Structure 1
Amino acid sequence: MDRSKIPTVPLSSGHHIPLLGLGMSHSGGYSHNALLYALTKCGIRHIDTAKRYGNEVMVGKAICESGVKREELWLTTKLWPGDYGYENAIQSCLDSCKRLGVDYLDLYLMHWPDAHVPGKSAREARAETWQALEELHEKGICRSIGVSNFLIHHLDQLKEDCYVVPHLNQVEYHPFQKPQELVDYCRRNNIVFGGYCPLAKGQALNHPTIQKIAKNYGKTPAQICIRWSIQNGVVTIPKSTKEERIQENCEVFNFHLEQEDMDCISSLNSNRKLIHLTYPLWRG
């Protein structure tokens, strides 16, 4: 796929993020050959990873091997809560850049709102950490900064405590989990909404409504789910370690879902959250 066919969305930072990316994962979510294929054969230029996933070094290696110029890439990584706090956040960002083999990040996200810094409330820890990201943004080390899994009250607090409103909030988003109130809040505040888990961990692919719509369009259920997300204006990050699936997931810009079908898919929303995290998983 020609990378020029992947639209971009403007962020309040002044940069434009590709509407479709390829997500990495810490649970079997990295394949070196698949990432190389995505970069060299599918025109993917938006890669989304995180320190937590443990694959930043390999992602950097794949980027180098692909021959794709750094300025053509959009590279997102995330700060793990165990590294929250001003000094820790600064160092963690620099360490991620080193592992990825780059001088700057296109987008750096606070991975979760949960924050446990000794002697500070969760709100104070988030604010202190965000101030570090603001400094990294001011220095150009992070061209855009944002958050992941933040709810409205977390974003309200950050607005009150800090200067820069997050450029993007990345949250679980699929036909069974469509947090419209949060989406609307982000748009009112000029925060781009990013969505991960667009296939609902594969659960959406077997739903009869989605299968019927896919058949009507001559597309796969995965393509219908991704197209639905994109048409809702969401920066969409599907994950796959299979070359043929990555190719399939990219072929979503040559058709348009009718509003009736968009509404039909949206009606499947049941606030079914599939991604959960508890403090003991990241405390150490």
Structure 2
Amino acid sequence: MRAMRHFSVKLNDGHSMPILGFGTSAPAKLWGTFFRPELVQTGLEVSLKKLQLSYVDLFLIHFPVALKPGEEILPKDTDGKLIFDAVDLCTTWEALEKCKEAGLVKSIGVSNFNCKQLKMILNKPGLKYKPVCNQVECHLYFNQSKLLDFCKSKDIVLTAYGVLGSDPEKEWVTKNYPVILEDPVLNVIAEKHQRTAAQVALRYQLQRGLVVLAKSFTEKRIRENFQVFDFQLTPEDKETQDGLNGNLLYFKDTYFADHPDYPFNDEY
């Protein structure tokens, strides 16, 4: 992530993270085919080789569903069904802790974990390092208020992706959902502040205490989205935006839904 140096948040392990990033760089993420403890460092080394780095600032468990180890990203049987694996996520976490102790990563965290899964890690006997963050889908239509409150109570940063919605043409995105940036309520607030809808949607999450990932592909939008630190939403603005929540999840990843660790069956 790339952000202004002075706009950062202190993590529970002493390191810092920019509070606004644009997808111009990314943390290393551990994919489900590497969840077995003996494969975790190998999975990290694959990422380090691709990035041409000797270490990364942040290493995340990508999604809490284990897949059959091997070269295929999405291993399938002869019927085209995903082949899952059974791995205790606590043992995977222990292997991430070893990667941190080996100096291969500065900080370790998770992504797409629900509250129950976070508690499982936090309550693990012999825990050495808490997750510094949980990277999840979070936007006006799915504001993750309960998960945010829990993470704050445990000094875990909630990192938001999909803040501005997503391209509905992508095959993994839920179809026929409303477009966030076209929301009339959001645009009324934006007009009041003489800002874009995107700037107001980003500012809303920042004022809630989230780290925000806002992927953009044009220089104009990147510059525009950076201009969110010189205005404040009023309490009334925030309350109005709170009211837009409809628990609409764009990224359901339903192809993982048959796995017992699929995270989106729980309320949060």
TM above 0.5: yes
Q: CA deviation at 1:278?
A: 3.6
**Partner residue, 2:78:** none
CA distance in 1, matches of 2:108, 2:243: 32
**Partner residue, 1:173:** 138
Gap runs ≥5 in structure 1: 24-34, 36-46, 49-75
Deviation per CA, 1:204-248, whole angstroms, max 9, x where unpaired?
110000011111111000000011111111000011212211111
Q: CA RMSD in A?
A: 2.3
**Partner residue, 1:72:** none
2:94 corresponds to 1:128: no
Gap runs ≥5 in structure 2: 70-83, 168-178, 260-268
Q: CA deviation at 1:279?
A: 4.3
1:106-125 equivalent positions in 2, closer than 5 A: 106-116=57-67, 122=86, 124-125=87-88
Q: Is contact 1:5-1:253 (8 Å) kept? A: no
1:18-167 equivalent positions in 2, closer than 5 A: 18-23=18-23, 35=24, 47-48=25-26, 76-116=27-67, 122=86, 124-161=87-124, 163=127, 164-167=129-132
Q: Is contact 2:57-2:106 (8 Å) kept? A: yes
Q: Which moved more, 1:127-136 or 1:197-206?
A: 197-206
**Residue type of the alignment partner of 2:210:** V
SS of aligned partner of 2:28:
strand
CA distance in 1, matches of 2:254, 2:6: 35
**Residue type of the alignment partner of 1:106:** D
**Residue type of the alignment partner of 1:13:** D
**Residue type of the alignment partner of 1:171:** V
**Relative to 1, partners in 2 of residues 1:6 and 1:269: Cα closer, same or farther, differing over 3 Å?**
farther
CA distance in 2, matches of 1:98, 1:174: 33
Q: CA deviation at 1:161?
A: 2.7
Q: Is contact 1:114-1:279 (8 Å) kept? A: no
Q: CA deviation at 1:4?
A: 4.0
**Partner residue, 1:193:** 158
- More helix, by proportion: 1
SS of aligned partner of 2:43:
helix
**Residue type of the alignment partner of 1:133:** L
CA distance in 1, matches of 2:255, 2:64: 11
Q: Scaled by the length of structure 2, what TM-score is found?
A: 0.80
2:216 corresponds to 1:240: yes
Q: 1:212 aligns with which of 188, 201, 220?
A: 188
Q: CA deviation at 1:113?
A: 1.2
CA distance in 1, matches of 2:190, 2:53: 40
Q: Is contact 1:112-1:148 (8 Å) kept? A: yes
Structure 1 stretches (4+) deviating beyond 6 angstroms?
none
The number of aligned residues is 230
**Residue type of the alignment partner of 1:132:** A
CA distance in 1, matches of 2:47, 2:85: 26
Deviation per CA, 1:246-267, whole angstroms, max 9, x where unpaired?
1111111111111110111111
Q: CA deviation at 1:109?
A: 0.6
Deviation per CA, 1:81-108, whole angstroms, max 9, x where unpaired?
1221112211111121121111111111
CA distance in 1, matches of 2:37, 2:230: 45
CA distance in 2, matches of 1:234, 1:211: 22
CA distance in 2, matches of 1:138, 1:151: 26
Deviation per CA, 1:110-164, whole angstroms, max 9, x where unpaired?
011122468x985x43122111110011122110000001001111111233512
SS of aligned partner of 2:20:
coil
